[in-house]
Amino acid sequence: MQNTRQLLRDFLSRRDIKLFRALDANRQGFALLNLTKYNRKRILNKLKSHEILNLLHYVDPDDATDLLQSLSNIRRKKIIQKLDIHKKEKVEFLLRFNPNTAAGIMSLDYIQISKGMKFDKVFVLIKKHEIRTGKTPAILVVEHGYLIGKIPWRLIIHCKEKQKVDSYIRKCPTIRFDKDEDDIVKCFKANPHNNIVVLDEDNSILGVIYSDDVLRIIEEPTGDLYDFAGVRDEENVNDSALTKVKYRYKWLIINLFTVFLAAYVVSLFQDTISSFVLLAVYMPVVAGMGGNAGTQTLAVVVRGLTLKEIDPKSGKKIILKEMAAGAINGTIVGVLVAIIATLWNHNPLLGIAIGSSMVINLMIAGLFGSTIPLIMKYLRKDPATSATIFITTATDICGFFIFLTLATMLL
> What are the tens digits of pLDDT across the range 182-213?
888 888 888 876 789 999 988 889 999 987 77
Instruction: Give the residue from 68, 96, 124 where a domain finishes.
Output: 96
Whole-number Å distance between alpha carbons of 15 and 9: 10
Say whether both 256 and 370 belong to one domain: yes
In a domain, 216, yes or no: no
Say whether both 64 and 179 belong to one domain: no
Instruction: Give the residue from 77, 96, 115 where a domain finishes.
Output: 96
In a domain, 198, yes or no: yes
Structural domain boundaries, residue 89:
2-96
Taking the CB of residue 251, how many other CB atoms lie within 10 A of it? 18
Say whether both 195 and 328 belong to one domain: no
Residue with the bigger pLDDT between 375 and 220: it is 375
Say whether both 231 and 371 belong to one domain: yes
pLDDT score recorded for residue 365: 92
Say whether both 189 and 242 belong to one domain: no
Q: Are 135 and 208 in contact (CB under 8 A)?
A: no
Say whether both 261 and 370 belong to one domain: yes
Say whether both 380 and 269 belong to one domain: yes
Taking the CB of residue 130, how many other CB atoms lie within 10 A of it? 14
Say whether both 86 and 109 belong to one domain: no
pLDDT score recorded for residue 180: 86
Instruction: Give the residue from 79, 96, 113 where a domain finishes.
Output: 96
Say whether both 49 and 108 belong to one domain: no
Say whether both 152 and 7 belong to one domain: no
Provide long-range contacts, Cβ within 8 A and 24+ apart, for 47-54. 47/17, 49/75, 49/78, 49/79, 49/82, 51/21, 52/79, 53/79, 53/82, 53/83, 54/25, 54/28
The pTM of this model reads 0.52
65-98 pLDDT, tens digit per residue, is 888 988 888 899 999 999 888 888 888 888 888 8
In a domain, 291, yes or no: yes
In a domain, 169, yes or no: yes
In a domain, 162, yes or no: yes
Residue with the bigger pLDDT between 278 and 38: it is 278
CATH number of the domain enclosing 7: 1.10.220
CATH number of the domain enclosing 143: 3.10.580.10
Say whether both 236 and 346 belong to one domain: yes
352-411 pLDDT, tens digit per residue, is 999 999 999 999 999 998 888 888 777 766 665 557 778 888 888 998 999 999 988 887
In a domain, 214, yes or no: no
